[in-house]
Structure 1
């Protein structure tokens, strides 16, 4: 299925709402938005996730990003937290319940939370409508990912069409990481904010599914064994091995 993207709305101001979890991908996307948009707000979601520690790191990351440059500080606006705890009541998964991470009979990992990203984007669209923001930026990716169907480009494009029809808007859903692997995501972070941003992502962001935030590796905090940690670690090692000397 190939659903065409709607063109970005033509407005006087370029503004965006970034789905910002406090993880590697969303932090990179936030840096990307701060580079390309005049006004940027952020939204995080509390949905009963095992790795709720990611929410605790969000304010620190936002404050440190403000210190990168006066331009980023000026562009970074309000932060929002939305309670979507009903997600954990609707679906029992390894992302929301203490259980062993494994592959299910349908081939998907049991960390898959059905409809989670669709709900995130829908809630973000409602917030963007109220805040008069015309672009949503999310870290969805179908290159290096765990096979989640709602991370796919077709799913995001289809939802963009549905949201714009249902809300009578011209909202653009952008996914800067959609066709990047984790090595390329690390490289993108460096291109946006240099070694300073790489160090911030390593020391402050959280990706580990089980919420392990006590062990700091050269690629960041995590258990080092869950799918999210393995992807992040592998991408970092590949990025480091191919990094060109300054």
Structure 2
């Protein structure tokens, strides 16, 4: 039986929902983020605010939260000419992928996460990758995750489980999942408490915009990440 998890936690909507999923499921949960030379470090600040808000709002989860880790993955910024690591406009490439795709990012993240999980004695790696609402990134596919799970378990000579709670749900369903998880942790709050944490503290915007407040949170409202988040929130609230 699995009792511990390491959550890849960037501080966005998806990873915050994944963190709540892990806290609802496991006895000990640690978090991991990467500084990979991204254009905007806003998410690295936002994630600390999310962690603080969850600990404050959900005392029963706070007791399960272990160490938070930040690793330097700057090599990605050195070798990636993408709009997430360079000051360039977001466009579609001839490959059919947007230039927000950072080649090898999730593969490197999972490898480093597995090494850390090994050292920390953690059994499950939780990540917010998704095939339903995504930009075609090949390293977000279920097949990729399954292959990485096999490779990492073999390479570490220890069974590691890669858990992807969002893999087959869209953004509207991700909002609903956050609501349901919040409700389980705080029945008196009716599930809104975790949604409020996501709206107020999480960060998804590719451009690092934190001055414009929308019903679904802060962001420019124009980049693909904002549009996806806003559309999902709209579908969820109109149900």
Q: TM-score, normalised on structure 2? A: 0.95
1:179-194 equivalences in 2 (<5 Å): 179-193=168-182, 194=191
What is the distance in 1 between the residues matched to 2:180 and 2:39? 32
Cα offsets for 1:183-218 (capped at 9, x unmatched): 000000000111111111011010011111111111
- In the alignment, which of 103, 119, 124 is matched to residue 135 of structure 1? 124
Runs (5+) with no aligned partner, structure 1: 1-9
Q: Which residue does the alignment assign to 1:63?
A: 52
Alignment correspondent of 1:5: none
Kindly provide the CA deviation profile for residues 70-123 of structure 1, in whole angstroms up to 9, marking residues without a partner as x: 320110111000000110101110011000100000100000000101111111
Task: Determine whether 1:211 maps to 2:211.
Answer: no
Residue matched to 2:188:
none
1:107 matched residue in structure 2 = 96
Q: Over residues 23-80 of structure 1, what are the superposed CA-to-partner deviations in whole Å (9 max), with x where a residue is unaligned? A: 0000000001000000000001100112320100122211111123332011011100
Provide the C-alpha distance between the structure 2 equivalents of 1:69 and 1:167, rounded to a whole number of angstroms.
34
The residue correspondences of 1:62-81 to structure 2 (distance < 5 A) are 62-81=51-70
Among 132, 141, 150, the residue aligned to 1:161: 150
Whole-angstrom CA distance in 1 between matches of 2:14 and 2:214: 17
Q: CA contact under 8 A between 1:51 and 1:208: conserved in structure 2?
A: no
SS at match of 1:67: helix
RMSD: 0.9
Matched with 2:196 is: 199
Question: Which aligned runs of 4 or more in structure 1 are off by greater than 3 angstroms?
Answer: none
**1:160-203 residue CA offsets vs partner (Å, 9 max, x unmatched):** 10001111010000000000100000000000111111111011
SS in 2 for 1:101: coil
CA contact (8 A) 1:51 1:212 kept: no
- 2:105 aligns with one of 116, 121, 131: 116
Q: Is the 8 A contact 1:46 1:85 kept in 2?
A: yes
